[in-house]
Structures are given as C-alpha cells and as structure tokens.
Amino acid sequence: MKKGLIKATRPFERVVHWCLALSCFLLCITGMGTMYHSLNFIGYAMGGMANLRMLHHYGGLFFGASLLVAIFIFGKEAFKFSSQEDWPWIKEGGGFLWHVENIPDVGKFNPGQKMFFLVVVLGGVAMLTSGLIMWFPLNFGVELVRTMYVVHSLGFLLIFAFVFVHLYLVTIGAPGSSPAMFTGWVTRGWMKKQHPKWLKEMEEDGTLEVFGSNGGNKTSRN
C-alpha cells in the first residue's frame, strides 16, 4: 500500500456494495435465463430450470436485504439533495461529458452518485414488489399480476442500463475510482478532484485517515 493514500470506504460499506452488485449480476443472469428461451441453457447448466428459478427467487431476497442495509448506511447522505450544491455540478456534467477546468465542490456523494443510488433504490423496490407478487400471486387479480410482469421487465432494462453506466464511470469516466470499492484507499489527487468538499470536511474535523502518516494512520472516520 502506497504511503499517503486516503481511506474512502470502510470494510462494511464495501461488503454491502459487493453484496448488492453481485446479487444484482446474479439476478440479471438468472432472470434472462428464465425469460428468454434462447438462454434457457443457463438453467440447464444449473441442473434445470427449476433450480434456476429458485436461485433467482432467493437471490432476489438476498438483494432486498442488501438494499435495506445500503439504504440504512448510505441513505442519510445519498438522499440529501441540495439545489444550491448539486445544480452547479449537474450543469457541468460533473466533468464527465466534456472538459471542465474547475468542477464544482461536492461532498461524499456527487449528484450523479445520488441519482444512481435513487434509481437503484426505486428500481430495486419495484423489482422486489413485482417479483414477490409474481412468485406468490395469491388472490391478486390477473390484470395486476400481468402488470407486475411488465414492471419487472422494465425495471430490469432500467437497472441493467444503469449498471453499464456505473461501470463506465468507475473505470474510464473517473480513473482511480475502483480502488475505493476494492481496497478502500484512494489517492489524494483523486479525492481532491472527485470529492473536494468531503476531503476538506474530513481535514477540518480530524477524521481524515491517511495511510502511513506518522508511522500509522490518523484517526478513522466513524
């Protein structure tokens, strides 16, 4: 680990992120294998379509539990929208769509991340609700159950598209972002460019954790 790196994420935050990401990937694969006849071979590779559907169902429950935890630990800051702080960043496209000399200051979550998280939450809730009604139709009307199939399909398309946008932004769009969710440590240069306000806040309140500082790390963020 290089000296001077800054702690951006805690271990538990990374675990929750990967639980969401991997369960979402699993649901996409098993969902497509169930929905499209041409992809039924995915089910056959898992011992049959019944196994594939069961994996999809219980994977959905795991995703739902992970989503609830994510809302609990990220929601307080990710749902905090401020037109005064977020709008200047949005007008500049965050520096992702064209060259911007001075990107407006943002805190721990930039407006793009906030919107992505909101889509994941709303889309996730829609997928869970529709999925449960499809799994347990009970005494729901036929029209409602049919509508849930449409909602489930549209929710899949929305989340699937956003996943690719997310992958682009954490790789090509904002180089240096991926270590935040692999090791938890990022460079000071990345932090100053992507989250200058958050860096300043941590420096001012003494919660900035720097690897190798004075023979160890500074006080950790709580």
Q: How confident is the prediction for the chain on average, in pLDDT?
A: 86
Domain ranges of the chain: 11-187
The arithmetic mean of pLDDT across residues 209-221, rounded, is 62
pLDDT over 90 (residue 62): yes
Q: 174 vs 132, which has greater pLDDT?
A: 132
Instruction: List the structure tokens of 207.
Output: 């919660």
Please identify which residue in the block is written with the tokens 């300043």.
Answer: 200
pLDDT over 70 (residue 195): yes
Instruction: List the structure tokens of 35.
Output: 């929905």
pLDDT over 80 (residue 81): yes
pLDDT at 60: 94
The answer to which of 4-18, 52-66, 69-83, 118-132 has the lowest mean pLDDT is 69-83
* Per-residue model confidence as pLDDT tens digits over 15-53: 999 999 999 999 999 998 988 888 888 888 888 899 999
Instruction: List the structure tokens of 152.
Output: 């489930």
pLDDT over 60 (residue 102): yes
Confidence band for 8, pLDDT divided at 50, 70 and 90: very high
Does the domain formed by 11-187 have CATH 3.40.50.2000?
A: no
pLDDT over 70 (residue 180): yes
Going by C-beta distance under 8 Å and a sequence separation of 6 or more, which residues neighbour residue 4? 187, 188, 210, 211, 212, 213
Please identify which residue in the block is written with the tokens 């954790």.
Answer: 209
State how far the alpha carbon of 34 is from the alpha carbons of 9, 10, 55, 197, in Å: 36, 36, 11, 45
